[in-house]
Amino acid sequence: MLHNFSNSDSYRLFCSVLRKMAGETTANKQIIFQGYISGELRESNMAVKESSIQLKVPEGSEAVLVKNLYLSCDPYLRGMMEETTAKIPRFKPGSVIKGYGVSKVVDSGHPDFQAGDLVTGITGWEEYSLRWKAEELRKIESKGIPLSYYTGVLGMTGFTAYLGFHELCTPKKGEYVFVSAASGAVGHIVGQLAKLHGCYVVGSCGSDEKVDLVKKLGFDEAFNYKKNTDFDDTLKRYFPKGIDIYFDNVGGKMLDAVLLNMRRNGRIAACGMISRHDGHGTDGGIHNLHRVVINNIKIQGFMQSNYLYLLPKFMEIFTSYVKEGHMKYIEDVREGLESAPSALVGLFAGKNLGKLAVRVAGE
């Protein structure tokens, strides 16, 4: 019903009334980045601020004004807050945190977008955002799929799983696949994708509850890494013949143990090393990297933003997986923009189950 309203004449009238309120501003709650961090991420590194915004794009511009509906909480966001001398993209202290989200167009100066359009792309952690680069937004049609899915299985998260596993590791039927952070946003999708490719797949998780969950999703096996602390020994039990593909979500000690258990011509896709993001995971360093030589191993680090040309192919495949029930999606959606800082902090303590997102508003 809400969706029908958004395409209705009444909605367009509503937006036009808003646009007529030129000069008038609306309250706009924001999450502000407080300053660079070197250790653990804390809620106090982000602050909720009451601001205001005009619900109209500047006259003559091609900007788009959106109302944010869902925000994606991802490990890489901590990297954007890090104290470092490296030339990597980072947030500016005092600025609104930005991330991937699903939004609805309220006003548009761009010919490709109009009020009522649903879009995904990088947006602000705030109620309303003025997007100057409309060409970076993608229109979506929900077609009966929950909108929150576009922050996850049909968004950057699903794309990351697809890219790393399917495109970069070129899996073959019957290969042995290991996935860390298996119940996480990316991990639980990779595992199901591995089964769709006819692979044997084992996941590691941080609790027995998570182990049960990924087994229900179709993983052949899963283990609780907090109870199986000798990773090398554990991997040898689950992979007596070794590992062909490792989808690495954590880095650190698990990666080091995996390097001891890779088969010849193995492939490792590294999309994020959360044990590093949390500021203490890899202090011991990686000691078994030399093993890549003797076993002809490829380690491919990747960010989905480098492969956007594959996005349409991914969307087609995954939309059909989701619609036809081949891909189950676990999400953990927190309510309200104010919950975003604690949600993000909790991500590094493994408090989420599946994809973590924040619902800012309804359509």
User: Which residues have C-beta within 8 Å of that of residue 223, sequence separation ≥ 6?
Assistant: 202, 203, 204, 205, 211, 234, 238
Check binding of 180 to a copy of itself (CB under 8 A).
no
User: CB-hemisphere CA count at 13 Å for 213?
Assistant: 23
Q: Which two tokens stand for residue 103?
A: 């939004």
Check binding of 273 to a copy of itself (CB under 8 A).
yes
Out of 86, 173, 324, 362, which residue is the one contacting a copy of itself (CB under 8 A)? 86
Out of 297, 337, 340, 358, which residue is the one contacting a copy of itself (CB under 8 A)? 297
User: Is residue 279 within 8 Å of residue 214, measured between CB atoms?
Assistant: no
- Of 37 and 260, CB closest to a copy of itself: 260
Minimum gap (Å) between residue 214 Cβ and a copy of itself: 23
- Pairwise CA distance, residues 236 & 239, whole Å: 5
Out of 18, 55, 67, 79, which residue is the one contacting a copy of itself (CB under 8 A)? 79
Check binding of 88 to a copy of itself (CB under 8 A).
yes
User: Which residues have C-beta within 8 Å of that of residue 308, sequence separation ≥ 6?
Assistant: none
- Of 143 and 290, CB closest to a copy of itself: 290
User: Is residue 124 within 8 Å of residue 97, measured between CB atoms?
Assistant: yes
Minimum gap (Å) between residue 36 Cβ and a copy of itself: 16
Check binding of 236 to a copy of itself (CB under 8 A).
no
Q: How far apart are the first and last CA of the chain?
A: 10
Q: Is 207 exposed, middle or buried (0-12, 13-18, 19+ CB in 10 A)?
A: middle
Check binding of 270 to a copy of itself (CB under 8 A).
yes
Q: Which two tokens stand for residue 298?
A: 């490829």
Check binding of 333 to a copy of itself (CB under 8 A).
no
Minimum gap (Å) between residue 266 Cβ and a copy of itself: 9
Minimum gap (Å) between residue 201 Cβ and a copy of itself: 22
Binding mask 274-293 for a copy of itself (x = CB under 8 A): --x-----x-xxxx-xxxxx
Check binding of 301 to a copy of itself (CB under 8 A).
yes
Give the β-pairing of 331-335 and 262-270: unpaired
The piece of 15-23, 63-71, 295-303, 346-354 that touches a copy of itself (CB under 8 A) is: 295-303
Q: Which two tokens stand for residue 167?
A: 């495109």
User: What is the binding site for a copy of itself (CB under 8 A)?
Assistant: 79, 86, 88, 251, 255, 260, 264-265, 270-273, 276, 282, 284-287, 289-303, 306
